[in-house]
Structure 1
């Protein structure tokens, strides 16, 4: 089989997969518009915030918020694997990096949403906290800070879904 035939076959396969992805996105968008389930209602609620898109809202609800009731903010951070890991040696005690014990997709999405939050919600309390604390730091320090922001934002989004408390200073979509 020649190279040209293989390339044509791979291109056709690529186009087919793209059509399937587009169809799934359309089905999900229709479901978000029409469904009355509590999970989809939470997706719609997250979509009201600037900086949160359909992919992240869907993942947060279907993989994290929709199937579990959290009692407190510690449970939220721990399930996402965004809590610090304590370490002790003798009389010394310090915190290492994050535990990474939770859902890696949620953790990854939380960090992506945290970067988007800084862009789309620059006047929010969380964005101001990040800028004051990490804004002028080195790239390494900013990456450490974005993980802290991701945890704080995840907790604020949980409060928003549970109690309707909009994160302080956050803007809703027009």
Structure 2
């Protein structure tokens, strides 16, 4: 019994394993407890192992790779078509085993510990930013109930609220003033957490040459550069820059049939966080160009015929392709670079 391909359905405590031989015949159907996983695969000859890209998948992939196995991670949406029956752990493991052996299957790159650590900083920072925004909106909403309207923007909260609390002329009770002070202290603490995490990301950025290289692109700062380096990893996994842009959801959706190509809005697939960072960075570049009054170049010409939102997505798409070129060819960004067009 020589096992060539294995599919593992990951879970918290119990793992379903399905293995086939070189003829595709099932020769292994097993359920393993978490503490038995490493010992079981340590005694198996090297084979191809497939897993869904879910929680703890990168951890197990690194462990199994260290034992000499070839590990491939698959996005869950690409596994679902191979589930033949009702969903259960055994059927999922069999579907993963089937999917990982397909020659045209797309795989997720395995992240190392450093990449996962940086992405954890980004995710926690993102959570604190959302909590800070929610807290600011709550303060603004409570004050509006008493006729005190504060303009949008978190900077107005820090500047105007203390003045309103100290103003004895407004109709606020003592208990409400204390409540708003409590909320303001919470807002300050959330802001402090965000700034400390950003400082950690900045330190990692300054120590990483690839991240420094990406930050030279207009519209990509340290936050976006570190997130791209940690998420993309080896850009050679993408055939071209267009594939990377599509992976980020920055290309149009298609609904084509009968030889008619119909393009819709952007697909918004992939990592929402990365796509948001790239689009926000593109908006900053557009605002700077409008303040300068630029009239020459690709971006000003685009803004003359399209609105700023469309231009922001187009610039984010372009930056994604530039990122792929810089990572794949180990180049440095140059503003005056022109792509070599193929001869026709």
Question: Normalising to structure 2: TM-score of the pair?
Answer: 0.40
Q: In the alignment, is residue 18 of structure 1 matched against residue 191 of structure 2?
A: yes
By relative contact order (CA 8 Å, sep 6+), the higher-ranking structure is 1
Superposition map of 1:1-174 within 5 A: 2-33=175-206, 35=207, 40-63=208-231, 65-66=232-233, 69-88=237-256, 92-118=260-286, 128-132=297-301, 134-137=302-305, 139=307, 142-163=308-329, 164-169=331-336
Q: Using structure 1 for the length normalisation, give the TM-score.
A: 0.72
Matches of 1:27 and 1:137, distance apart in 2: 41
Per-residue Cα deviation, 1:61-102 (whole angstroms, up to 9, x for no partner): 223x23663222232011111122222355643211111122
Shift of 1:24: 1.7
Of stretches 87-96 and 145-154 in structure 1, the one that deviates more from structure 2 is 87-96
Q: Cα distance, 1:26 vs. partner? A: 2.3
Large movers: runs of 4+ above 6 Å: none
Specify whether residues 2 and 105 from structure 1 end up closer, same or farther in structure 2 by C-alpha distance, changes over 3 A only: same
Unaligned runs of 5+ in 1: none
Structure number with bigger Rg: 2
Q: Which has the higher helix share?
A: 1
**C-alpha RMSD over aligned residues:** 2.9
In 2, the alpha carbon distance for the partners of 1:128 and 1:105 equals 29
- Residue by residue over 1:107-150, the C-alpha shift from the partner in whole angstroms, topping out at 9 and shown as x without a partner, is 2222222233446689xxxx822322x232253xx432332222
Is the partner of 2:205 in helix, strand or coil? helix
Cα 1:167/1:80, change in 2 over 3 Å: farther
Contact 1:51–1:120 at 8 Å: present in 2 too? no
Contact 1:160 1:167 in 2 (8 A): no
Partners of 1:30 and 1:145 in 2: how far apart?
32
Given the superposition, is the C-alpha separation of residues 5 and 102 from structure 1 closer, same or farther in structure 2, using an over 3 Å criterion? Answer: same
